[in-house]
Amino acid sequence: MDKPVKPDLQFAKEIIKAGGESLKKCYQCSTCTVVCNLSPEDKPFPRKEMLYAQWGLKEKLFKNPDIWLCHHCGDCTAYCPRGAKPGEVLGAVRKLMIKNYSPPSFLANWVADPKYLLLIFLIPLLFFLGEMALLGYFSGIEIPRGENGEMSYVAFLPPVPWIDIPFMAIAGFAVICFYLGVKKYWLDLTEGVELKRKDIYNCIYETIKDILLHKKFQLCTLNKNRSTAHLLVLYAFIGLAITTGIAAFYEWVLRWEAPYPQTNIVKIIGNISGIALVIGMLLIIANRTKNAVKQGLGSYFDWLLITIIFAVGITGFLAEILREAEVETLGYASYIAHLVFVFALFAYAPHSKMAHMVYRTTAMVFAKTAMREEVKKEEAA
Ligand code: SF4
Ligand code: SF4
């Protein structure tokens, strides 16, 4: 006999507080499921998730890959006749899932709550300022310059290991948090489920291909531009990771000190990626504000990540332009701000919306192993 359903109204309240305020308006008409182009014929979403959320069925929501198979396109929100905003409700559930899976949960609380906004940026700022104070930069010493007397962030900043080692430490911390979170999520997803495909590496390969081509995003109806914007940001991140790798090789292996000329490959890839990042983020902001009435503006959680990524791009360019123009004080301040935002991006990645790239990828791999691929409505008709 099936177990009786036990509503958890406390959890339903948590979803409401996390951004699912409109949850109670849903009257289960299923329009959202019909319009969602990512919803599979077998166990379609998001109508059933709206019901689970109203009843506060935490386990059913958390062990459900559909929460992450939703790409938050907002089509369902636009067509919901009751204004229940299912896209936003699923976004709120994802936020609670990140807190549940990524340890330590207090960091997720910091990232999700505006009252900690100052604190999350103050930590890296005080860290960098503290390093500079230790080196005597606030005791009136002359700011060092590069080998040829040029303005140089490498000469100005604490020695390279003082910057690189803390960044490597926070990147390692993020990897451990993600590893623990994904392991727990995968165990929950696969509990009692028969994995029909055993070729897990092929499933991972197919998922990465889908992500690189943004196949799922292209199925969105109302907000088609979202795919281009998101794709630009994705490739910008890949380009910036390559840039960082080359710069580390220059510094640690070849012992070549920055700044590098604009014609150097590291600058070319870095600048192109930076431009793609800023344009992609501007498009994301424009899309969100343009479609806010129909599809929802998104929560504080969404906007915090948008702000951090945008600030990483802008402060990076500002620092570069000001260095080329030899505008010292503003240039140094921009560079410190850039480091603070990059630190925040990495350190809080497992607890911010950035975690979507890992948990959604896990859910997509699971969907392939369980052969739970979506069937487009027109194919099924
Ligand atoms: S969320 Fe809206 S469209 Fe979906 S079932 Fe509820 S009322 Fe209908
Ligand atoms: S936001 Fe888009 S992908 Fe998510 S359930 Fe709604 S229509 Fe489907």
* 118-155 per-position pLDDT tens digit: 999 999 999 989 988 888 877 877 777 777 777 878 77
Measure the CA–CA gap between 373 and 183, rounded to whole angstroms. 22
Give the residues of the chain that fall short of pLDDT 50.
Answer: 374-381
Ligand 2 centroid, distance to 70 Cα (angstroms): 5
Q: What would the pLDDT profile of 157-216 be if each residue is shown by its tens digit?
A: 777 677 888 888 999 999 999 999 999 999 999 998 888 888 999 999 999 999 999 888
Whether the CB-CB separation of 240 and 270 falls below 8 Å is answered with yes
Q: Which pair of structure tokens corresponds to residue 57?
A: 């069925």
What is the DSSP-derived secondary structure letter of residue 70? -
The best mutation among 31, 35, 75 to test binding of ligand 2, ranked by most ligand atoms within 8 Å of the C-beta, falls on: 75
Distance 69 CA to ligand 1 centre (A): 18
Give me the residue label for tokens 């911390």: 173
Q: What is the C-alpha separation between 212 and 376, in angstroms, rounded?
A: 20
Comparing CA positions, the residue from 304, 331, 318 lying closest to residue 274 is: 318
| Phi/psi at 169 (5° precision) | -65, -45
Residue 254: which residues within 8 A CB-CB, separation 6 or more?
Answer: none
Q: What is the pTM of this model?
A: 0.89
The pLDDT, as a whole number, for residue 373 is 64
Ligand 1 centre and the CA of 79: distance in Å? 9
Which domains can be identified in the chain, with CATH numbers? 9-103 (1.10.1060.10), 105-369 (no CATH)
Distance separating alpha carbons of residues 61 and 55, to the nearest angstrom:
11
Residues with Cβ < 8 Å from 290, sequence gap 6 or more? Answer: none
The tokens describing 141, both together, are: 């010493």
Locate 20 and state its tokens: 């699912």
Per-residue pLDDT tens over the stretch 281-294: 999 999 888 877 77
Give the per-residue pLDDT at 379: 43
Q: Which ligand gives the minimal distance to the CA of 86? A: 1
pLDDT in the model for residue 1 = 56
Res 351: pLDDT: 96
Write down the pLDDT at residue 378: 45
Residues 6+ apart with CB under 8 A from 137: 143
